[in-house]
Amino acid sequence: MKHPSLQRCASDTQPFPRKTTVVWAVIVVALLGAGAFFMFDRLANGLSLTGATNAVPWGLWVAVYIWFSGLAGGLYLISALTYLLRIPRFASVARLALGMSIVSLVVSMIFIGIDLGAIRNSWTVLPFFHWSSPLSWEIKAYIFFLIVSIAQLALVLYNDRPRGQNRGNVNLAIRVLAGIGVATSFVGPPGGTGMFFAAVKTRGLWEGGITSVLFYVMALVSAAAFLIVVCRLLARLRAQRVDEAAQTGLVWVFVASLAVLAFCVFFQLAPILLSNDPRSGVAVAAMLQGYLAPLFWIGEIGLGFVVPAVLLIAGYATRRAGFTVAAALSALVGILSLRYVFVVAGFSAPLLEGLPQPIYLPSVSEVLVALFVLGMTVALFGLAVRFVPLEKAGAAEGFPGEPDSCAPAGGGPRPGDAIPLADDAAASSSAAPASLDASAYSTAYEGGARDGARA
């Protein structure tokens, strides 16, 4: 079947205003400055500054670590919707999701690194391997996942070269790597992290197959919410129109995964309440009516489920994107609360009968070290968006074309041209550039596949 030709450039993006760059730099410096001394203290004197004890060895840093590792895995899975499954709706956010996945994975490794004790000995995990250690398996899976992600992003960027040859072969390699990455996610981030917790037999709250599913679904909720916020933010900062088709797809992923997550939380807690198992019953009591109850009810249930549901309904009724962004932000905070409660509550039951119930509260120093690493995170995210073309869509995403042929048919605006912003869904997919239309995507991808086969 003969298709009309379509050419699309690599979505030229407007530069960030100087004010935006200054604000970003101030935020980075403020976060780094707030925690610099305490980070030095952590590196020089070990874990003495934390609120962790022998009874509760994992705390705030581990909770943030699994939040970022879940975000990394979820972002990669969303990018695979384009690179592996070739779903056109997500083409404009696939590269951004892949790049942010790599940054999030690096940040998660930093958080778990500062929690593990002697950082100078951490290199030993590379040459040595303990077959019976779940942690050893998880570390290897993380490293392999990181290598696959970096290699895939490198091929995606390589495919942007002008008049590139054998693009069909490169796209095939990208698709193979995407499949390997998705398979690795079951034993790495996020599924492998859930399996690691589920393997701890002495902690009844964590034990069970539902834990791995819970981690996987939390990753999708976090990733969809993160992309909803980041895409809107970047579009506003660059004075460009957001791809409403991609936003609609992300909202559906967000809603569906949030509903599944609510069922996972219910089925994690309900069997424990019915069984009267003392190992897990004490942990659930600490969550529902103990010292973790405010964070559970307000943070996990309120901000994680109730508030997003109300805001999503309001956004659907009023057709205003602001409600959706607020729902996504609320869910991100709720997922962090869920991760924290899940980790800390698991240690609430004493291992020996007669011992007092362990209670963990993060120290001020622990929080400030976390702020220091968050400053590094903001810096890495900003540098990635500034110097890597993560907001572009080219041959790897199914839009083969030459960089000197960017004007779409019909005299419409070039992709990336500044246009007035719309705060609601009135500027929807009907007003989006033709190059982002699903049928145009399919036509372009089929044409690229033919060109690659001829090459």
What domains are defined for the chain?
18-348+364-401+415-445 (1.20.1630.10)
Burial class (CB in 10 A: 0-12, 13-18, 19+), 94: buried
Q: What is the pLDDT of residues 169-227, one digit of tens each?
A: 889 999 999 999 999 998 888 888 888 787 776 677 887 778 889 999 999 999 999 99
E strands, 15-133, are none
pLDDT of residue 12: 54
Q: What is the pTM of this model?
A: 0.84
DSSP 259-290: HHHHHHHHHHHHHHHHHT-HHHHHHHHHHHTS
Pick the residue with more confidence: 273 or 288? 288
Average pLDDT taken over every residue of the chain: 82
Buried b (16+ CB within 10 A) or exposed e, 345-381: bbbbbeeeeeeeebbbebbebbebbbbbbbbbbbbbb
Mean per-residue pLDDT, 261-283: 84
Neighbouring-strand partners of residue 320: 424
341: pLDDT strictly greater than 50:
yes
Which SS3 state, helix, strand or coil, does residue 424 take? strand
Q: What is the pLDDT of residues 18-29, one digit of tens each?
A: 999 999 999 999
Q: What is the pLDDT of residues 103-152, one digit of tens each?
A: 999 999 999 888 887 666 666 666 777 766 777 778 888 999 999 999 99
φ/ψ region of 236 (left if φ > 0, alpha if ψ in -120 to 50, else beta) reads: alpha
What letter represents residue 412's amino acid? G
Neighbouring-strand partners of residue 428: none
